[in-house]
């Protein structure tokens, strides 16, 4: 009886260490995930005017919302989620894509794995912004419930946003092959 007590104590300590270890690992992982999910924007290259803090926050908030809307619209084959965050050609283009893929019996699932965003243009009158976004995206195309295509890529996008009454709306979102965008926008 006496000899089993140290063994039980050792087992208890080992179990406690294991539980704490697993918990710590989970916390680290959750923090790492949330860090990669939160989009961040750099403004060091922006021209011809500097971007105010409040504008940066608003642009980032509305651009992130636009990507969520794309994800919902593509997987549901519905144009409704596009209403708030898109305008002009970007909205027309996404609407047509959704109509076409609905007619073709396809849906697209976009798994957004993070964005690295640079503001590269902010118009003098404050009405338009251009962003360069390197997005880590998993794209799955489904026919019925079957995945017919899947790829994970880092895709570069150029986005033009314009200010509306209470938010920034995406007016153009165009994917760009590697090395086609210009790194700096200097005059």
Partner 1 sequence: MRKLVLFGLATLVAWFAADSARGADLRIPSSGVAAGRPLTIGTDGQGDAVISLLGPGQVIQRKVKLGSEVQIKAEDLHSAGRWIAILRASGESHSRVFWVEPAQPENLSFLARPSRVPVAQHNAISGTVFLFDRFQNLVLRPTPVTFDLSVKGTGAKQSVGSRNGIAWIEASSGPKEGAAQFVASVGNFSVRRVVQQVAAEPCSGSLRMHITRREKDTVVVQTDPIRDCSGNLVPDGSIVSFIETDQKGKSTVDARIKKGFAQAELPASDNAAISVASGVTLGNELHLGGGR
Site for partner 1, rule CB under 8 A: 48, 89, 92-94, 96-97, 100-101, 103-104, 106, 108, 120-121, 123-125, 127-128, 130, 132, 139, 141, 143, 148-149, 151, 153, 155, 158, 160, 172-177, 180-182, 184-185, 187
Angstrom distances, CA of residue 119 to CA of 30, 77, 78, 94, 172: 28, 30, 30, 23, 14
Smallest distance, partner 1 to C-beta of residue 178, A = 9
Smallest distance, partner 1 to C-beta of residue 119, A = 12
Rounded to whole angstroms, the Cα distance separating 54 from 75 reads 32
Q: What is the dihedral of CA 62, 65, 71, 72, to 10 degrees?
A: -120
Q: Which is nearer to partner 1, 40 or 174 (CB)?
A: 174
Q: Which is nearer to partner 1, 59 or 160 (CB)?
A: 160
Nearest one of 32, 34, 185, 41 to 123, comparing CA atoms: 185
Smallest distance, partner 1 to C-beta of residue 153, A = 8
Q: Which is nearer to partner 1, 11 or 121 (CB)?
A: 121
Q: Which is nearer to partner 1, 29 or 42 (CB)?
A: 42
Smallest distance, partner 1 to C-beta of residue 62, A = 19
Q: Which is nearer to partner 1, 67 or 121 (CB)?
A: 121
Smallest distance, partner 1 to C-beta of residue 109, A = 12
Tally Cβ neighbours within 10 Å of residue 169.
20
Smallest distance, partner 1 to C-beta of residue 79, A = 13
Q: Which is nearer to partner 1, 14 or 147 (CB)?
A: 147
SS3 (DSSP) at 88: helix
Sort 12 into a burial class: Cβ within 10 Å, 0-12 / 13-18 / 19+.
Answer: exposed
Rounded to whole angstroms, the Cα distance separating 129 from 51 reads 9
SS3 (DSSP) at 68: helix
């Amino acid at each position: 009886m006496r000899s089993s007590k140290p063994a039980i104590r050792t087992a208890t300590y080992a179990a406690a260490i294991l539980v704490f270890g697993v918990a710590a690992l989970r916390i680290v992982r959750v923090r790492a995930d949330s860090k990669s999910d939160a989009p961040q924007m750099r403004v060091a290259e922006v021209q011809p005017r500097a971007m105010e803090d409040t504008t940066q926050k608003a642009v980032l908030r509305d651009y992130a919302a636009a990507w969520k809307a794309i994800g919902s619209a593509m997987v549901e084959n519905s144009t409704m989620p596009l209403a708030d965050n898109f305008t002009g050609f970007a909205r027309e283009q996404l609407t047509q894509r959704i109509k076409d893929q609905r007619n073709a019996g396809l849906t697209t699932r976009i798994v957004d794995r993070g964005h690295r965003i640079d503001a590269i243009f902010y118009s003098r009158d404050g009405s338009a912004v251009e962003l360069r976004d390197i997005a880590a995206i998993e794209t799955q195309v489904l026919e019925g419930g079957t995945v017919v295509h899947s790829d994970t890529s880092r895709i570069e996008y150029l986005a033009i946003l314009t200010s509306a009454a209470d938010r920034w709306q995406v007016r153009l979102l165009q994917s760009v092959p590697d090395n086609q965008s210009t790194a700096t926008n200097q005059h």
